[in-house]
């Protein structure tokens, strides 16, 4: 989801989230898991468990997920939660931290947890309050926690970034002494002292693993010296990046940057270089995220038409907008092949658009699971880049009364599918299908979806 900085660009989802997070500070009652009555699904999907948001996170909005060992880390506009997933059918809450700040995008590496703050705050503490970005002393950026003991997370550092941190991506250095954090942010404004236009760059934070308190911005490379996509009636002008997915095994990354889809060379982590750029003025509104296939020979880009708050899965919008675009990577160039979008038309009050997903590691096939907000989630095969097809899904009926909701992120990890239902729970599913069963043999020690492992060479 994007968080516009100007009222003129305020989306329905942003307004709803503002209301929800405004209630989060004093909320403590448990939110019941959504009922399964009326849910439709394919026969190969089983819903295993639903862990409702509780305590300081109840009333907030669940966002992204990171994994390490048998632990899942779930971001929330009100902080983050840590779950024991040793038994995926019974996820157990280990701890949670109250630390409000949009949108709390999350990742973990070597016992450190990184949290993105993309709302202007009075300071860098977890007790901060909202404060206008027009005030020079306001703070936005990346917070770092020590989570070696998941029961007792410890806040160890913070790095301010000029336009905040909407999302971030981890790129480990070759010597494994540090990790680089590629910071994505956008929507500059001439009235913001620290976030001036044109913001055609990304910020790179270097974090020494033994001394995370020394983390600092070490580079701010400009990716769009020509200004990037100028904008159109349906597409956003490029003024920063929304999300970046790295594929370290091939020293490449895919950057989704509002009006541009970008392929980067990250062989020198502090000096990423643009290899190729693509634009889609006809069908794409907001380049939102990316996922590579298992060997880095393909990448899909998501279009977040409507900002996550619009009902974009219907006949009127059609199959090519608010969709996922599939590109083959040939000689380090992006070659468009087709669009993929769920064909289950959603109700007029259901926010639905292409959103966060991950690869399911099946050798010889390109299969991923992907969130569609109130469109549920879809498991789809893009082995034939020009003819993608769905092979599984889960979809609840519209929320009553009508409101923002649905799956923000849905990821596959070590044999199970995990999803953040935005306003209710952390959900777990199982897929049982001959086309995906072999993925259960792939066991990872850690997964940040935006730092993709090479499953096959």
* Averaged pLDDT score across all residues of the chain: 93
pLDDT tens digits, 61-76: 999 999 999 999 999 9
pLDDT for the residue 456 = 81
- Eight-class DSSP state of 356: B
CB 35 within 8 A of CB 330: no
**456 in any annotated domain:** no
Q: How remote is the C-alpha of 94 from its chain's centroid?
A: 23
Whole-number Å distance between alpha carbons of 263 and 272: 10
Given a cut of 90, whether residue 146 has pLDDT beyond it is: yes
Half-sphere exposure of 390 (CA within 13 A, CB side): 19
pLDDT score for 36: 63
CA distance 144 to 189: 27
Task: Please state the rounded mean pLDDT for residues 200-224.
Answer: 98
CATH number of the domain at 98, please. Answer: 2.130.10.10
How far apart are the C-alpha atoms of 256 and 240, rounded to whole Å? 9
d(CA 445, CA 381): 25
Pairing, β 357-360 against β 333-340: unpaired
- Tell me, what's the pLDDT at 37? 66
> Could you give the percent of the chain with pLDDT greater than 70?
92
* Helix, strand, or coil (residue 106): strand
- Listed in sequence order, the DSSP H helices in 48-181 are none
Encoded tokens for 86? 């040793």
Tell me if 255 is assigned to some domain: yes
Contacts of 109 (CB under 8 A, 6+ apart): 170, 172, 179, 446, 448
- Tokens standing for residue 148: 């070696």
How does residue 16 score in pLDDT terms, banded at 50, 70 and 90?
very low
Q: Domain for residue 453, yes or no?
A: no
* Residue 457 lies inside a defined structural domain of this protein: no
User: What residues make up the domain containing 218?
Assistant: 7-447
Tens of pLDDT along 389-418? 999 999 999 999 999 999 999 999 999 999
For residue range 107-137, what is the model confidence (pLDDT) as tens digits? Answer: 999 999 999 999 999 999 999 999 999 999 9
Which range (16-20, 113-117, 124-128, 161-165) has the least confidence? 16-20
Alpha-carbon distance of 59 to 109, in angstroms, equals 28
Quote the CA–CA distance of 109 and 147 in Å, as a whole number.
10
Is the per-residue pLDDT at 19 higher than 70?
Answer: no
The beta strands (E) that lie in 148-200 are given as 154-160, 167-172, 178-184
Length of the chain: 457
User: pTM of the prediction?
Assistant: 0.94
Residue 285: name the closest of 322, 320, 238 by CA. Answer: 322
Within a domain: residue 411?
A: yes
**Across 13-27, 285-299, 373-387, 402-416, least confident range:** 13-27
Residue 431, domain member (yes or no) = yes
> Can you give the pLDDT at residue 351?
98
In a domain, 116, yes or no: yes
CA distance 449 to 457: 18
Q: Does 254 reside within a domain?
A: yes
Scanning the structure block, which residue is given the tokens 């940040």? 448
Average pLDDT over residues 422-450: 98
Q: Tell me what pLDDT residue 9 has.
A: 33
The arrangement of strands across the sheet holding 324-330 comes to 287-292, 298-303, 324-330, 333-340
Q: Where are the beta strands (DSSP E) in 388-455?
A: 389-395, 407-413, 416-421, 425-431, 446-447
Look at the chain and report how many structural domains it folds into.
Answer: 1
% of the chain beyond a pLDDT of 90: 91
The reported pLDDT for the residue numbered 368 is 98
């Amino acid at each position: 989801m994007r968080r516009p900085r100007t009222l003129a660009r305020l989306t329905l989802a942003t307004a709803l989230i503002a209301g929800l997070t405004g209630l989060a500070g004093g909320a403590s009652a448990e939110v019941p898991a959504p009922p399964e009555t009326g849910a439709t699904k394919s026969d190969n999907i089983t819903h295993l468990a639903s862990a409702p948001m509780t305590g300081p996170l109840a009333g907030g909005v669940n966002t992204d997920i990171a994994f390490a060992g048998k632990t899942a880390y779930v971001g929330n506009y009100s902080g983050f939660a840590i779950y024991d997933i040793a038994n995926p059918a019974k996820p157990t809450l280990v701890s949670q931290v109250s630390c409000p700040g949009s949108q709390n995008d999350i990742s973990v590496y070597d016992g450190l947890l990184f949290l993105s703050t993309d709302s202007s705050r009075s300071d860098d503490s977890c007790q901060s309050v909202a404060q206008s970005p027009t005030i020079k002393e306001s703070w936005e950026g990346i917070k770092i926690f020590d989570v070696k003991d998941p029961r007792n997370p410890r806040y160890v550092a913070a790095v301010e970034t000029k336009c905040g941190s909407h999302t971030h991506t981890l790129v480990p250095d070759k010597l494994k002494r540090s990790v680089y954090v590629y910071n994505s942010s956008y929507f500059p404004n001439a009235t913001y002292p620290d976030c001036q236009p044109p913001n055609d760059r990304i910020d790179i934070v270097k974090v020494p693993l033994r001394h995370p308190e020394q983390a600092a911005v070490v580079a701010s490379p400009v990716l769009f010296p020509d200004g990037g996509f100028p904008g159109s009636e349906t597409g956003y002008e490029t003024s920063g990046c929304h999300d970046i997915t790295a594929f370290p095994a091939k020293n490449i990354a895919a950057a989704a940057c509002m009006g541009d889809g970008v392929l980067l060379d990250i062989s020198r982590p502090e000096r990423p270089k643009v290899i190729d750029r693509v634009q889609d003025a006809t069908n794409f509104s907001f380049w939102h995220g990316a996922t590579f296939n298992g060997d880095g020979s393909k990448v899909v880009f998501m279009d977040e038409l409507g900002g996550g708050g619009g009902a974009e899965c219907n006949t009127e919008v059609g199959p090519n907008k608010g969709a996922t675009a599939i590109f083959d990577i040939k000689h380090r160039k992006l070659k468009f092949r087709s669009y993929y979008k769920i064909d289950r038309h959603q109700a007029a009050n259901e926010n639905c658009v292409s959103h966060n997903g991950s690869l399911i590691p099946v050798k010889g096939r390109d299969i991923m699971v992907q969130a569609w907000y109130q469109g549920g989630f879809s498991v789809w095969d893009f082995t034939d880049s020009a003819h993608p097809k769905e092979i599984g899904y889960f979809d609840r009926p519209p929320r009553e009364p009508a409101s923002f909701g649905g799956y923000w992120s849905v990821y596959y990890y070590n044999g199970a599918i995990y999803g953040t239902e935005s306003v209710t729970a952390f959900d777990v599913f199982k897929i049982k299908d001959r086309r995906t069963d072999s993925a259960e043999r792939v066991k990872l020690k850690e997964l940040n979806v935006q730092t993709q492992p090479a499953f096959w060479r």
